[in-house]
Amino acid sequence: MKIAVCVKHVPEGTKRIDPTTKRLDRGGEGALNPFDANAVEEALRLKQATGEGEVLVVSLGPAKAQDALRKALAMGADRAVLVTDDAAAGSDLVATSRALAQALERENADLVLFGQQGNDSDGAVLGAAVADRLRRPMVSQVAEVTHADGKLTVKRQTEFGYDVIETQLPAVVAVSDAINEPRYPSLKGIMGAKSKPQATLSADDLGLTAEVVGVGGSRTEVLELKAPPSRGESRKIEDDGSAAQAIIDFLTEKRLI
């Protein structure tokens, strides 16, 4: 079984919006989206369970997104594909899903896995958008996956418990962060990742023009940024052992107790 895992390179540390571009500032250090590590781990477990197959990781991002892909390779993925192009900068959900779908079409994987969301956006809908473009069935919030006879049986988390769903392959699945505990890359895995195939594709390689990726292919636009409104009068209390009494005095002063 050929499994493709879509992963994202996300900023580390405190996140900030660039006031000029009105986009998330991605100029600093970045890492593999932690939710996507669960998807990589599940792909490796499925491959191990069948005893054969291939796990590849696919991403759209700047050149330094290779760092995130290398971590997935160090975990055990077989190869990586990075779609990177200046023309793709500023891609929203619509443009991103188009680029990823084009890259995935080339690979024709039996199963496409996503993490439940990106920790820099918390959208949790990219998997569904890609599945729609690929015209494949999709299941989200999956907490357990088994594969047999060309079918997947999954347990999907809901607010009322679990749905058990069976689907034919090829399919798209977004796993929850409760599905597993991602492994830490070993030293052998880290060293071996350097020699694994790592392809880089441009928008032209995928037959994508500036009208369908980046800002030109996006359907959302940030018009304005503002600081959060003031919460009114506030008082900061340093806890030197008398914080509890200071809070009581403040609430008494405001006639709240």
* Residues 149/161, Cβ–Cβ less than 8 Å: no
Question: What tens digit of pLDDT does each residue of 156-205 get?
Answer: 988 888 999 999 999 999 999 999 999 999 999 999 999 999 999 999 99
DSSP state of 14: S
User: How far is residue 169's CA from residue 141's CA, in Å, rounded to a whole number?
Assistant: 18
Q: Could you tell me if 60 and 53 are in contact, meaning their C-beta atoms sit under 8 angstroms apart?
A: no
**Tokens 């994202």 -> residue:** 8
Q: Please state the rounded mean pLDDT for residues 240-245.
A: 86
Q: What is the CA radius of gyration of the chain?
A: 22
Whether omega for the bond prior to residue 137 falls within 30 degrees of 0, making it cis, is: no
Query: How far, rounded to the nearest angstrom, does the alpha carbon of residue 192 sit from its chain's CA centroid?
Result: 24
In terms of phi and psi (left: phi > 0; alpha: psi -120 to 50; beta: otherwise), the region of 124 is left
Cβ-Cβ contacts under 8 Å for 103 (sequence gap 6 or more): 58, 60, 81, 83, 201, 206
Domains and CATH numbers, the chain: 2-217 (3.40.50.620)
Assign 121 a pLDDT band (cuts: 50, 70, 90): confident
Query: What predicted TM-score, i.e. pTM, was given to this entire model?
Result: 0.85
The H or E element that residue 139 is part of is strand 138-148
pLDDT digits (tens, 9 = 90+) for 207-240: 999 889 988 999 988 888 888 887 777 778 888 8
